[in-house]
Structure 1
Amino acid sequence: MTQLLVSVRNAQEARTAVEGGAHIIDAKEPNHGALGAVPPEQLGDIAAVLAQRSLPLSVALGELAEKPTIPDGTLHFAKIGLAGCSLIPDWQSRLTSVWNQLAASSEPVAVIYADHEAAASPSPNTIIEFAANHDRCQTVLIDTFDKRTGNLFHHFCSNQLRSLADRIHSRQMQLAVAGSLDAGSIPMAMDCQADIIAVRGAACESARSSNICGRRVQALVQLVCKTSA
């Protein structure tokens, strides 16, 4: 069954998302970019909330070019973006080095930006092939880098996304999708065989920088479960 991931910035939002039924909680600061990292103290508080419920913790760690800090402890998913890396010849060895700093039980996630040209990120196929050759990477995330330029389907049509999903699944990896998805576009993403639907703005009271709303999380969980059935 497809799972719903909700990005939160603090412990209170984590509790709200958990109570709304989210399957995966992701620690992310929306005001610091597509994969903005939360401060260490906030991350610790979020982890404590999830430990009480035995739910997986996903963490956004920023962009590789910005030399992200790797937190201590186990992260179910660890996401590092590749904005600017098409201009860095040795980005693959740099990313491997950072991934190797993760706890042994943590899973690195390969991140594709749908607007990869604007983000100066490597192409989707290049990232898929890199991830497929890394034993610890079992998940590929397709997201948008610049939230001002439209959602995921502004950059990829359904056929393009489905083709990438087929390529990812054929290499025994799962697909997570994000990028300003809402109740109208989530079924489209699921129709493209996404394994994880990741949201922030759709679960907020208003804009993506506002607080997480439990009622909206619950409605999104119901939508994902209904569409999966």
Structure 2
Amino acid sequence: MTKMLASVTGVAEAEIAISGGVDIIDLKDPKAGALGAVAIDTIRQTVSSVAGRRATSAVCGDLPMEPEIIRAKAEEIAATGVDFVKVGFFPSGNIAACSAALAPLAARTKLIAVMFADLAPDFEFLPVFAKDGFHGAMVDTAQKAKGRLLDHLPPERIPAFVDRARSHGLAVGLSGSLEAPDIPRLLPFAPDFLGFRGALCDQSERTTPLSAEAVSQIRDLIPEELQPGAPSTVDYRLLAARGYSPGAVDPVLGTDKIFVRDFVLPVEIGAYSFEHGHTQKVRFDVTADVLRVTDHPEDMRHVFSYDIIMDAIRTIVAKGHVQLSETLAEDVAALVLEHPRVMSVAVRVEKLELGPGGVGVEIERRKAKQQASTTRLSAEADALRRRPGKKDLIS
């Protein structure tokens, strides 16, 4: 289950984040750089105030890649009692040496190696971090004004990072000026956590205070893992956006058709020998029947993003040569159907360079009914309605 990490500046913002259902409270000074460190006393006070209600983490700052400097700062932050210490690894010939210097600390503290998507990260260092005992690795962005994570690390490249990190036993995090529309695009990669700052603040400006409303909107897009008997912070109008089918609640809403048309990519495809070793243009047309959440969609919590369809296509194409158009169409359909709200999908794959016209295949696939999921939704919705003082939140 993907957790939500919120970067906060101290005790007051930590309480806002906890009230909003955030899973990990991360101490950071957004005015002091990508990994700006807050004062040690502030970290201690916040850890004491959180008092185990949530996991806590803190960043070491934008430090030079000098082993002793990084080791000393990481040791200092670890002594505050945070659960995780995040260490930035900027491009340098000293990365391996800095990692090795932290190995003794990694034996007793959970360290997270932070790499930067906008600084040409070298994922070959992932096994180095694992060897030195790091708990996890994450990708962030160093220059917040120059784009989001997906501007520098597009969806088709994310599996390479996630799979490589997981193969070495590392927990995986994704961050970097993430916004609400990015969440449904990143959740299919099943990172261990998604990190946020700007999207949780007033006017989406990372140096302004946290906004309870903004925290709630982001939280509603990330499925929540509840402890037995714990109250949910979820607005149950948005169950479908959090991975449940709303069909049993209000079948009258029906479905919408979300489509991507004339989406052309260079693809390594073909069974003939002359089709191997190079790409050819392929056009994709995809239409998905998607369960509706509400009659009045207002934000990303209420919609199915067409970016999910395009990301699915890019991710499959990035895997390499495909023998058949039929295989490509089936793979796209299967990936789109993994989304809980997609009931059926039509996929058209058309090769454009084999003659004067296009040739290809068109398929339609439908999701098998998920009675267990529907039953669970009905039970949770009924339970919410029965809560004292709660009005009916199901739209």
Is TM > 0.5 for Structure 1 vs Structure 2? yes
After TM superposition, list the pairs within 5 Å mapping 1:165-180 onto structure 2: 165-180=162-177
Unaligned runs of 5+ in 1: 118-122
Residue equivalent to 1:110: 113
Residue equivalent to 1:96: 100
Structure 2 residue matching 1:224: 3-state secondary structure:
coil
Letter in 1 for 2:97: S
Q: Percent identity?
A: 27
Distance 1:94 1:156 in 2: 24
After TM superposition, list the pairs within 5 Å mapping 1:1-229 onto structure 2: 1-51=1-51, 53-65=52-64, 67-68=69-70, 69=73, 70-71=76-77, 72-83=79-90, 85-86=91-92, 89-98=93-102, 100-101=104-105, 105-117=108-120, 123-135=121-133, 137-206=134-203, 207-225=205-223, 226-227=241-242
Letter in 2 for 1:20: G
RMSD of aligned residue pairs (Cα, Å): 1.9
Q: Which has the higher contact order (CA 8 A, sep 6+)?
A: 1
Distance 1:199 1:162 in 2: 20
Normalised by the length of structure 2, the TM-score is: 0.52
Q: CA distance change for structure 1 residues 196 and 228 in 2, over 3 Å: closer, same or farther?
A: farther
Residue 228 of structure 1 and its aligned partner are, at CA, apart by 5.3
Q: CA distance change for structure 1 residues 178 and 162 in 2, over 3 Å: closer, same or farther?
A: same
Q: CA distance change for structure 1 residues 166 and 110 in 2, over 3 Å: closer, same or farther?
A: same
Structure 1 residue matching 2:60: 3-state secondary structure:
strand
Distance 1:56 1:100 in 2: 22
Q: CA distance change for structure 1 residues 115 and 192 in 2, over 3 Å: closer, same or farther?
A: same
Unaligned runs of 5+ in 2: 224-240, 245-395
Residue equivalent to 2:330: none
Distance 1:9 1:73 in 2: 15
Residue-by-residue CA offset, 1:8-35 (whole Å, 9 max, x unaligned): 0111001110111100000000011111
CA contact (8 A) 2:99 2:128 kept: no
Q: CA distance change for structure 1 residues 98 and 190 in 2, over 3 Å: closer, same or farther?
A: same
CA contact (8 A) 1:4 1:197 kept: yes
Distance 2:168 2:143 in 1: 28
Letter in 1 for 2:59: A
Q: CA distance change for structure 1 residues 200 and 57 in 2, over 3 Å: closer, same or farther?
A: same
Residue 41 of structure 1 and its aligned partner are, at CA, apart by 1.9
Task: Work out the number of aligned pairs and report it.
Answer: 218
Residue-by-residue CA offset, 1:202-225 (whole Å, 9 max, x unaligned): 111121000011121122111101
CA contact (8 A) 1:111 1:127 kept: no
Residue equivalent to 1:120: none
Residue 127 of structure 1 and its aligned partner are, at CA, apart by 2.4
Residue-by-residue CA offset, 1:116-155 (whole Å, 9 max, x unaligned): 24xxxxx3322212112123x1211110011111000110
CA contact (8 A) 1:139 1:174 kept: yes
Distance 1:194 1:11 in 2: 27
Residue 101 of structure 1 and its aligned partner are, at CA, apart by 4.2
- Flag the structure with larger Rg: 2
Structure 2 residue matching 1:141: 3-state secondary structure:
strand
Letter in 1 for 2:86: K
